[in-house]
Every structure is written in C-alpha cells, then in structure tokens.
Amino acid sequence: MAAENKEWVERLRGIQLPQHVGVIMDGNGRWAQKRMLPRSAGHREGAEALGRIVRFVRDCAIPYITFYTFSTENWKRPADEVEQLMNLLHKFLGDTYKYKEENIRVCFLGDPSRLRPDLQRDMKKLEEESRGNTGLTVNIALNYGGRDEIVRAARSLCREAAAGRLRPEDLDEERFAGALDTAGMPECDVVLRPSGEQRISNFLLWQAAYAEFIFMDTLWPDFTEKDFAEAMLEYARRNRRFGGV
Ligand code: IPE
Ligand code: IPE
Ligand code: MG
C-alpha cells in the first residue's frame, strides 16, 4: 500500500465509520469526453477506480460496500456502450482470484435475468465461490433499480402469501427487508456520488432511507483513496438523529 494511503487508514482508525457505504459511480463519460476519448475509455478507468477503492475499504475494515455499476435505466444507452459495459463486467469476473486472496465476498444486487447467459453463469459462480469469505462484502448492483428491487420483493412475498406461508398481518419492515436483494445486510449509512450530480437515480431506495448523502465534483475515474477517506471524515462529522432529538 502507498505510504499516503497507509496514513489515511491510520487517520480513519478510531472515527465513527459506516457499516455500509453506497457508491454511485458516475462521471465516466465526462471524464473521457474531457480527454477527447471514447466513453468506453472512461468506463475502463472507472473499473480501475473500483479496484482501488475496494482495496482501500478492506484496509479500513468497513464491512459492506455497494457499487452501482449498471442501472435498470442504463439500457437506454446506445447498444455498443451497453455491450462495452457488459464486457468490462466480464473482465471483472475473470479477476476473481484477487477476491479469493483478499477474503472478499462478492454479491450481485439487481435482476440478472436480462443479462447475457455467460455473465449470469459467471456471476453465480463468483457468488458461490466467495460465499464463505469473511472479510469485506462487495455488492455489485447490476441491472439494478431500487423500484425494481422493491417490486420483485413484493412479488415474492405475494407468492408466499398465496401459498399460505405468510399472513398479511405478519408482514412488517423486517420481513420485507428480508425479501430484498440485500437480505441480512445492514442498511446503507452513506451514499457517495461523485461527478457533481445530486440525485439518487433509483439507487438503494429502501436501504438508503436514512443514509447521509455526500456529493462530490470529482469524476469517478479520478476518484482516489484520499477522496474516499475525506468522505469518511465528513460522514463522521454528521449528526445522525433518525427522527429523534
Ligand atoms: C457512470 O458514468 C457509469 C454508468 C452509469 C454505467 P456515466 O457513463 O454515467 O458518465 P457520465 O455521467 O456520462 O459522465
Ligand atoms: C447512475 O448514473 C447509474 C450508475 C452509476 C450505474 P447515471 O449516469 O445513469 O444516472 P443519471 O442519468 O445521471 O440519473
Ligand atoms: Mg452519468
């Protein structure tokens, strides 16, 4: 680890860190545009940033991080951009050995059914292979939309009810949360959004109900360990009240 990053890890020790960080990885296209490069070059650099931040988060001992990598709305993009994004994801799955070595568990959030069969197969394999890893959990939100996730959860609960296994009066927030893609995981404490946009874009609608939001102007491919560490210092300064006083 670079000396500077080690110093940041030290500085974060002892402050109130989140259990679960959500990251809306945004600004890849603008990063490329600024350099007169194709958008795909921005996505490639964005994937590098993801690797950087995963390693840093693991060193900081934050237990959960979710990266928004492809939304249910991103299908609206040109077919070649979608294909390039899917190919990048495939490359990411090919690098799984690092996750094994680093004791990282990888989970996918979202509806895989619309993805290429080869991707679906490798996603499942990676989830299964990393299931027993006890270090950081990295969620990859892929073909993910917060509304879609809530509808899928409602549908599965309706099936339970129709089969006589769930009484409507027994449905509560906890049971509902257990039907989401993040079942068993802590709620999202903080959402980071680089690139200057200030919106949620259908990310973790349920899990971020009480999240802190930190918006930054940096474009995602430029995002460094220092940016992440500064966001954690900002998070620690926030006074979370959860509706209390
Ligand atoms: C985020 O970067 C990556 C994905 C949404 C897949 P963008 O591609 O949205 O980059 P901008 O917002 O156009 O700069
Ligand atoms: C959000 O970014 C989705 C991901 C980062 C995967 P977008 O660039 O798609 O969101 P909008 O269009 O700015 O809302
Ligand atoms: Mg964008």
CA 154 to chain centre: 22
- Per-residue pLDDT tens digits for 178-200: 999 999 999 999 999 999 999 99
The Å distance, Cα 30 to ligand 2 centre, comes to 12
The Å distance, Cα 139 to ligand 3 centre, comes to 19
The Å distance, Cα 29 to ligand 3 centre, comes to 7
Determine the pLDDT at residue 127.
Answer: 94
**For ligand 1, atom 12: residue with the closest CA:** 27
Q: For the chain, what percent of residues have pLDDT higher than 90? A: 92
Q: What is the mean pLDDT of the chain?
A: 96
- Per-residue pLDDT tens digits for 36-57: 999 999 999 999 999 999 999 9
Tokens of 12: 């974060």
Which residues sit with their C-beta closer than 6 Å to ligand 2? Answer: 24-26, 68-71, 74, 197, 199, 201
- Edge-first strand order for the sheet with 105-109 is 105-109, 137-144, 64-71, 20-24, 190-193, 212-215
Determine the pLDDT at residue 92.
Answer: 83
Determine the pLDDT at residue 84.
Answer: 96
- Per-residue pLDDT tens digits for 91-133: 888 776 678 888 999 999 999 999 999 999 999 999 999 999 9
- From 24, 72, 204, give the residue whose CB has the most ligand 2 atoms within 8 Å, as the site to mutate: 24
Determine the pLDDT at residue 98.
Answer: 79
Report the distance separating Cα 7 and Cα 29, nearest Å: 31
Which residues sit with their C-beta closer than 6 Å to ligand 1? Answer: 25-30, 70, 74, 85, 195
